[in-house]
Amino acid sequence: MTNEKQIRIIGIAHNSAIAILLIIGILLFIFSLISGSETYGGGLTGLTKNSANSIPWIILLVLVIIARKNYAWGGFLLLIFGGMITYYFNFRGGNFFISTFIFCLTVVFLSLVILFTGAAISKYNKDNELL
């Protein structure tokens, strides 16, 4: 396989990881914003009072945007964030759900994909810049 073909596949993996994290972040943001609002009376008031539940997913979206601009910082911060949510949502309390654990590990895995594919793309660009 030629280098150009390999770097194209790596680029697809990099962009796919960012897109998947972006979709997950948007869906979880909407779900966390809406899901608890009925306990506060629903409507705009309920959404406003329940907006604190959306903070982790806003952070995820910001980190994905950072990872899109700078893979090293963004990927590293996403990796730390994934580790934190894995601990917080799975091991901090008495509740352990395998689906939540798998989701949290997905964030960690995709952040590693962003880090490694970003490094490969950067190395390829530096090597071809010298030619």
Tens digit of pLDDT for each residue in 17-65? 999 999 999 999 998 888 877 777 777 777 888 788 889 999 999 999 9
| Residue matched to tokens 């590693």 | 112
Distance (Å, whole) CA 96 – CA 57: 20
Distances (CA, A) of 75 to 31, 43, 60, 108, 124: 24, 36, 11, 9, 18
Structure tokens at 39: 């306990």
Which of 2, 1, 8 has the alpha carbon at shortest distance from 121?
Answer: 8
Per-residue model confidence as pLDDT tens digits over 8-23: 999 999 999 999 999 9
Enter the pTM of the model. 0.86
